[in-house]
Amino acid sequence: MNISPSIRTQGRGQCAYVSTVSCTESQYKREYAVFARSGSNEAEEFTLKLSPDHLEDLVTAFRKTNSRKGCNTLDYCLERMQAQGIVTEEAYDGAKENFDSFQRYRIKGFEDLSKANTIEVKEKITQGTALIGNFRITTDYYRLGPDDIYNIPKDAVYETNIMGQVCSHCVVILGYGVTPEGLSYYIFQNSYGPLWGKDGFGRIACDCLKHLYCPSL
């Protein structure tokens, strides 16, 4: 069973929404794969495409009256996925005014693995659990080649927004590895389309992640 989410091409500033939605999709596909293996008949692959636009609209509406200092967009995304849930792309784009009648897909909760050791994280990945990673963006990030590993040096120059804040990015963590030189890295699915990196995937040094979340169904 292929439990990886579909590769998407995000809109401007949509990485947190796309990563949260893609990770949730993968969790549902994994649950279905486990269920299918327990049956006597081989089932077709479970496909699911949730709506990042629905999640973005929920977060935007919530932040208008519940904005909290120190809470980033990814935190809001995970909270709305738990509290409200979202519908599929087809339901949200096609029904619009009547999408509330469609099934909502939620998560039960999420765990912050930012301070967990890499052994625990790798065990989750080995079990087929998709994670959401967040990292800061340096000027070198946009020059990454398909076989490069994103690693942030001590003297890194960071990209900043118009307010002078350091830019960050969210991705789906789906694998891991170690270079011959001993550098541990995670394999991530980006949201820049299939032409970015190596078929839409890249690698990042483990200690470069700022946040690492594990949603659960």
What pTM value is reported for the model? 0.91
**Residue 45 pLDDT:** 65
Range of the domain at 128: 15-216
Look-up of token digits 């935007």: 60
**Residue 188 pLDDT:** 97
The predicted-structure confidence for 115-166, as pLDDT tens digits, reads as follows 778 888 999 999 999 999 999 999 999 999 999 999 999 899 999 988 888 9
Rg (CA), the chain: 18
Is residue 8 included in any domain, yes or no? no
149-150 and 201-205 strand pairing? parallel
Return the CATH number at 150.
3.90.70.10
| CB atoms closer than 10 angstroms to residue 144 | 16
**CA-CA distance, 19 to 171, in Å (whole number)?**
5
What confidence tier does 98 reach under pLDDT thresholds 50, 70, 90? confident
Is residue 127 included in any domain, yes or no? yes
Q: Please say if the pLDDT value at position 6 is more than 70.
A: yes
**Residue 39 pLDDT:** 57
Is residue 91 included in any domain, yes or no? yes
> Domain tally for the chain?
1
| 92 vs 1, residue with greater confidence | 92
Task: List, in order, residues 6 or more apart from 18 with CB less than 8 Å away.
Answer: 8, 10, 52, 170, 191
**Residue 76 pLDDT:** 95
Is residue 7 included in any domain, yes or no? no
Strands (DSSP E) contained in the chain are 109-112, 131-136, 149-150, 168-178, 184-189, 201-205, 211-216
**CA-CA distance, 5 to 110, in Å (whole number)?**
18
